[in-house]
Structure 1
């Protein structure tokens, strides 16, 4: 019973974990040791569309590109804002079988899949795991690299999919940064957006911020709105709080 053995191994391994970093490394070891080419753990708020955190063993150039192109908006493995967590479904894509791609006429999504394959990733499956009755969902994703598509059709692949809820609930956000993982919460803020939020955090009003940065007040408001949208916040106060909590600005 390979599935039961994998479950027992997962629980035993996670029970022995001593920290968030240790838990992450153990989950990576379990999934990649079973044949996955990469492993991803994330958390999203479906009410606001905010990415709370995202950790991945995919290569850094691809992850940086994913952020720079704001591919969260077209990546079918990234749940879209507004869909209740309990209505989210598992998404599986395989580059060699494009009929599995949940794409329509969006040319950017087609570009996304081609670039994903060029980066060496030819298959992926993402399993959403609702966190109780909240609007938040944990996401576990893993998949195959070039030449490893057979893994996506193997019994162990299906077993790992079934074990995803355990990984989602036992996995936690890493504290700080780690050289082998990627943590990103949404699109990058521009330098000017960070400047404006920093001044807001210090209690400055729009007029004073405009004077300090030598820009107009409408431009200040534009930067605030842009930063707020990127961070998935309804108000400027929330945007400042989120930016501080993520270390994007300091007080």
Structure 2
């Protein structure tokens, strides 16, 4: 590890505010000559925080269009526990391909790696880096630097968790078998209609079970409920 990289980690460990963490995200981007660095966490209480180097125009566009519903990076991050090379994800649907083209046109970068992070208290976080290099150079980059980026993801999550003091948990929560079923099917990537059909219940009844589970988990929305249930071992996708 170079002295300069050690200094970046030391800066992160000494961060006292979430604004300090934003500065470290920019330092990581510059050190590795990346296009962007993004860290986003949803705490067990529903509180969110993000440190990112994306243009705000793209962030607003992503939120307004609810791209979280079709973004393969998000879908796979809910299912997996290991780093994701964006090139290995399923971009075959028309919606995903159009989303990818728009993201690249907005300067996100054609390459990316994301690290899903699940905290013991129900936090769900995602650390991502992007680049505009070609496939061969990206593979070379990952071979050389993926270990350091894994360290970065865990260091950043640990420090943000400490700053947010997000230590709530869902210990003692008991989901009914059907509540576990609906959340498990959503975690596997199925739509509400597909999941309801699989369970042979109406979409209205499906929503009732989802709302009941969300209330028990203290989740602000369905995605948060799935994340908390996964993080606490209440369901398996």
TM-score, length of structure 2 as denominator length: 0.57
Q: Secondary structure at the match of 1:171?
A: helix
Q: 1:126 aligns with which of 114, 118, 124?
A: 114
| 1:35 Cα deviation from its structure 2 partner | 1.2
Report if aligned partners of 1:38, 1:56 keep a CA contact under 8 Å in 2. yes
Report whether the alignment pairs 1:36 with 2:34. Answer: yes
Distance in 2 of aligned mates of 1:37 and 1:148 = 15
| 1:19 Cα deviation from its structure 2 partner | 2.2
User: Aligned runs of 1:154-165 on 2, under 5 Å?
Assistant: 154=141, 155-163=143-151, 164-165=153-154
| 1:166 Cα deviation from its structure 2 partner | 1.4
Structure label with greater radius of gyration: 1
Report if aligned partners of 2:37, 2:128 keep a CA contact under 8 Å in 1. yes
Report if aligned partners of 1:37, 1:144 keep a CA contact under 8 Å in 2. yes
Report whether the alignment pairs 1:92 with 2:51. Answer: no
| 1:174 Cα deviation from its structure 2 partner | 9.2
Change (3 A) 1:74 1:153: farther
User: Aligned runs of 1:58-207 on 2, under 5 Å?
Assistant: 58-79=54-75, 83=79, 87-93=80-86, 100-103=87-90, 105-120=92-107, 121-132=109-120, 134-145=121-132, 150-151=137-138, 153-154=140-141, 155-163=143-151, 164-171=153-160
Report if aligned partners of 1:77, 1:125 keep a CA contact under 8 Å in 2. no
Report if aligned partners of 2:118, 2:125 keep a CA contact under 8 Å in 1. yes
Pairwise CA RMSD of aligned residues? 3.9
Residue-pair matches, total: 172
1:243 is matched with none
Change (3 A) 1:135 1:103: same
Report if aligned partners of 1:44, 1:138 keep a CA contact under 8 Å in 2. yes
Distance in 2 of aligned mates of 1:148 and 1:33 = 20
| 1:234 Cα deviation from its structure 2 partner | 4.2
Q: Secondary structure at the match of 2:98?
A: helix
Change (3 A) 1:142 1:14: same
Q: 1:57 aligns with which of 53, 62, 70?
A: 53
Distance in 1 of aligned mates of 2:25 and 2:61 = 25
| 1:109 Cα deviation from its structure 2 partner | 0.9
TM-score, length of structure 1 as denominator length: 0.54
